[in-house]
Chain A
Amino acid sequence: MRVPAIHIENLTKRYGEGNTAVDALKGVDMTIWPGEVVGLVGPSGSGKSTLLKCLGAVIEPTSGKMQLGGETIFEGAWKIDDLRTLRRDRIGFVFQAPYLIPFLDVTDNIALLPMLAGVSNTQARTRARELLEALDVGHRARAQVSELSGGEQQRVSIARALANHPPIILADEPTAPLDSERALTVMRILNQMAQQYQTAIIVVTHDEKIIPIFKRIYHIRDGRTYEEAGEGRDA
């Protein structure tokens, strides 16, 4: 039986208590399959970042069910260390800004994640170089982060997200700082990686130029999601 990479049901998140309580998520439902690239679109304050934080095991939802690869998260005794391991091994993050570690070179920015997971330095660096080659930035392997262009930095951050071969990647507006051409390139890469590694990718965006690329889009408004079939053309 095929297991969804992400499955959430009636997920809610409330910040604060009493009169000052804010319901950021009011019952979100979502299912994403391995190898899918899904858009999450919504205006500011709609709950996108809160949903991403819940999916990233950074904050605990108030109620509802959340399954990653068939395993229910936040149910029972999940410790901080378990969540950290979950993030390290099963979730990759791509941010609006690349947020690479400035004091590590390109290869080690990627290799750090497998190393944290206990992979040997040599194996981790080999894996990093393979990913860099796959993302067409292999020639910048020994470069310092400050020597890269914005587009190159974003590719390196995608490589970092893929470093531990996670089944899920959460991308928070990854194309926002890029021009159209580079934005489409990043989306092409994400689609390619999803196909190649069967990774489920959620891309939070309100970038109009990339929205037509998604085959499925979740709209989020006032803490609730609405699914829509996208045009799904290739980048």
Chain B
Amino acid sequence: MINLASRDILHSWGKFVFTGAGLGLLIGVTLTMAGVYRGMVDDARAMIDNAGADLWVVQQDTLGPYAEPSSIHDDVARDLLGQAGVLAVGNVAYLTMQIQQQGGKDVRVMLVGIEQGLPGEPAYLVAGRPITHTHYEALADIKTGLTLGERIQIRRHAYTVVGITQRMVSSSGDPMVFVPLKDAQEVQFLKDNDALLNERARTALNPAFNRVPGLLDTVLAGQASSHMVNAVLVRIKAGHDVQEVASQIRRWKHLQAYSREQMEEILVAKLIATSAKQIFMFLVILSIVSAAIVAFIIYTMTMNKIREIAVLKLVGAGNQTISGMILQQALGLGLIGFVVGKTAATLWAPLFPKYVLLIPGDAIRGFILVMLMCSLASIFAIRAALKIDPATAIGG
């Protein structure tokens, strides 16, 4: 038996391909939206993996350091190191800010203060070397566009990029720049010169600090330095239970400790949950729009063939033959659309400023959804075609 659908497609392939391409771009946008969501989740997971920690110790009653502000003293790390089961600890400070490249171009980054050789330091570099100096050296993610040896201005000081990392981004997709912890603390907690002068003058005028000799100097010295960090990253010794260590920290140190799974839950289920819902809504709307467009196209194509369908019915073609032709055309359109959409999404995904992760599973789900959508969309056209009276061919 002749495949009527394929013959019709071949006969008017130009119209079919252009229609499929238009639909494909819409499918491409849908796949990209799914990729944006996957990218957000992957960014969050990458950030957790790259931290190289088993536990995140943060301020009590907070979801810090990524989802809520958290501030703890940096000497907490020393206490934690004495805790049973703790292998290594590293203080980290996080700050999202704009930094200036040499050419004056601004880059939005997450500035991370790390301690050399301790948890929090990037696990690998794609170029350059780790930070070896105690001040003014930086490691930058490749997405910042910074290059080795480039000088960047962060607040009052210039830093030299000595190493390049990859896939080191915040949960909101901002690339990370790593600097020594002390530098990050200064950037994060210290004020500009004018503010410092103003603060000192205010403190000096306070009679309470002038009653005891030397008290004012001590207070002023305290204002000029910071020993706070956002979190302490803890690595657990092999054979020790993470939850047990976390429970001990929570109980005795009056701090909050999150395991890797809990941190992932906070990032994926809480921090990016609203964005995910937003993207899901877009996906739903795009799917409905795509289905409506397919239905309209297939319906129009079928209605343009009323006379041919009437003749086919008159000469004895069964409902199955007519329905099969329309369904196969709808599926053909969906197939062309999917191929175009997948290709388009793959081509334009790297151009997006944030990470777009296109995974084969989503592509397979997308393909099934498109085919299902096309099948459902063809129902209207099939219904209309089956209602065509074969007598239409005779006229009169």
The smallest beta-carbon distance between A11 and chain B, in angstroms, is 16
Among B308, B314, B315, B318, find the residue whose CB has the most chain A CB atoms closer than 10 A: B315
Whether A104 contacts B316 by the Cβ 8 Å rule is no
The smallest beta-carbon distance between B155 and chain A, in angstroms, is 70
Q: How far is the CA of A112 from the CA of B4 in the complex (A)?
A: 10
Whether B390 contacts A58 by the Cβ 8 Å rule is yes
Which residues on the B side are within 8 Å of A160 (C-beta)? 315
Whether A96 contacts B395 by the Cβ 8 Å rule is yes
Whether A58 contacts B394 by the Cβ 8 Å rule is yes
Whether A121 contacts B2 by the Cβ 8 Å rule is yes
Contacting B315 at CB < 8 Å: which of A53, A93, A111, A172? Answer: A93
A87 in the interface (beta carbon within 8 A): yes
Whether A49 contacts B394 by the Cβ 8 Å rule is yes
The smallest beta-carbon distance between B385 and chain A, in angstroms, is 14
Contacting A93 at CB < 8 Å: which of B10, B394, B396? Answer: B394
Whether B2 contacts A104 by the Cβ 8 Å rule is yes
| Residues of chain A from 32 to 71 with CB closer than 8 A to chain B in the complex | 48-50, 52-53, 56, 58-59
Q: How far is the CA of A101 from the CA of B317 in the complex (A)?
A: 13
Whether B316 contacts A84 by the Cβ 8 Å rule is yes
| Residues of chain B from 366 to 391 with CB closer than 8 A to chain A in the complex | 389-391
A134 in the interface (beta carbon within 8 A): no
A152 in the interface (beta carbon within 8 A): no
B393 in the interface (beta carbon within 8 A): yes
Whether A103 contacts B391 by the Cβ 8 Å rule is no
Whether A102 contacts B396 by the Cβ 8 Å rule is no
Q: How far is the CA of A227 from the CA of B380 in the complex (A)?
A: 47
The smallest beta-carbon distance between A204 and chain B, in angstroms, is 9
Among B1, B4, B316, find the residue whose CB has the most chain A CB atoms closer than 10 A: B316
B11 in the interface (beta carbon within 8 A): yes
Q: How many residues of B contact A (CB 8 A)?
A: 26
Which residues on the A side are within 8 Å of B315 (C-beta)? 87-88, 93, 112-113, 116, 160
- Taking chain A's interface residues, is the majority helix, strand, or loop, or is none over half, making it mixed? helix
Whether A103 contacts B395 by the Cβ 8 Å rule is no
Which residues on the A side are within 8 Å of B12 (C-beta)? 103
Q: How far is the CA of A108 from the CA of B312 in the complex (A)?
A: 13
| Residues of chain B from 292 to 338 with CB closer than 8 A to chain A in the complex | 307-308, 311-318, 321
Which residues on the B side are within 8 Å of A117 (C-beta)? 316
The smallest beta-carbon distance between B1 and chain A, in angstroms, is 5
Which residues on the B side are within 8 Å of A197 (C-beta)? none
Which residues on the B side are within 8 Å of A49 (C-beta)? 394-396
Q: From A44, which residue of chain B is reached at the shortest CB distance?
A: B396
Q: How far is the CA of A96 from the CA of B311 in the complex (A)?
A: 13
| Residues of chain B from 256 to 273 with CB closer than 8 A to chain A in the complex | none
B7 in the interface (beta carbon within 8 A): yes
A10 in the interface (beta carbon within 8 A): no
Whether A108 contacts B396 by the Cβ 8 Å rule is no
Which residues on the B side are within 8 Å of A103 (C-beta)? 4, 7-8, 10-12
A89 in the interface (beta carbon within 8 A): yes
| Residues of chain A from 61 to 95 with CB closer than 8 A to chain B in the complex | 81, 84-85, 87-89, 93, 95
Whether A104 contacts B7 by the Cβ 8 Å rule is yes
Whether B316 contacts A53 by the Cβ 8 Å rule is no
A184 in the interface (beta carbon within 8 A): no
Given A49-B394, A52-B394, A58-B390, does the pair A102, B2 have CB atoms closer than 8 Å?
no
A115 in the interface (beta carbon within 8 A): yes
Q: How far is the CA of A1 from the CA of B248 in the complex (A)?
A: 108
Whether A93 contacts B314 by the Cβ 8 Å rule is yes
Which residues on the A side are within 8 Å of B321 (C-beta)? 116
Q: How far is the CA of A116 from the CA of B7 in the complex (A)?
A: 16
Given A58-B314, A117-B316, does the pair A172, B395 have CB atoms closer than 8 Å?
yes
Q: How far is the CA of A108 from the CA of B7 in the complex (A)?
A: 10
Whether A111 contacts B316 by the Cβ 8 Å rule is no
Q: How far is the CA of A58 from the CA of B315 in the complex (A)?
A: 10
Contacting A101 at CB < 8 Å: which of B312, B314, B318, B390? Answer: B312
Contacting A172 at CB < 8 Å: which of B1, B2, B390, B394? Answer: B394
Q: How far is the CA of A102 from the CA of B312 in the complex (A)?
A: 12
Which residues on the A side are within 8 Å of B2 (C-beta)? 104, 108, 111-112, 115, 121
The smallest beta-carbon distance between B74 and chain A, in angstroms, is 76
Which residues on the B side are within 8 Å of A95 (C-beta)? 311, 393-395
Contacting B307 at CB < 8 Å: which of A81, A89, A99, A121? Answer: A99
Which residues on the A side are within 8 Å of B318 (C-beta)? 81, 84, 116
Q: How far is the CA of A81 from the CA of B318 in the complex (A)?
A: 8
Which residues on the A side are within 8 Å of B7 (C-beta)? 103-104, 108
Whether A121 contacts B8 by the Cβ 8 Å rule is no
Which residues on the A side are within 8 Å of B1 (C-beta)? 115-116, 121
Q: How far is the CA of A84 from the CA of B312 in the complex (A)?
A: 10
The 17 sampled A-B contact pairs (Cβ below 8 Å) are A49-B394, A53-B396, A56-B314, A58-B391, A84-B313, A84-B318, A87-B316, A93-B311, A93-B393, A95-B311, A96-B395, A99-B307, A99-B393, A103-B8, A108-B7, A121-B2, A172-B396
Ordered nearest first, which 7 A-B pairs have the shortest CB separation? A49-B396, A88-B316, A103-B11, A103-B8, A58-B391, A103-B7, A99-B311
Known: A93-B393, A111-B2, A172-B395. 9 other contacts (CB 8 A): A49-B395, A49-B396, A53-B394, A58-B314, A58-B394, A84-B318, A87-B315, A102-B308, A116-B317
Report A's interface with B, CB cutoff 8 A: 48-50, 52-53, 56, 58-59, 81, 84-85, 87-89, 93, 95-96, 99, 101-104, 108, 111-113, 115-117, 121, 160, 172
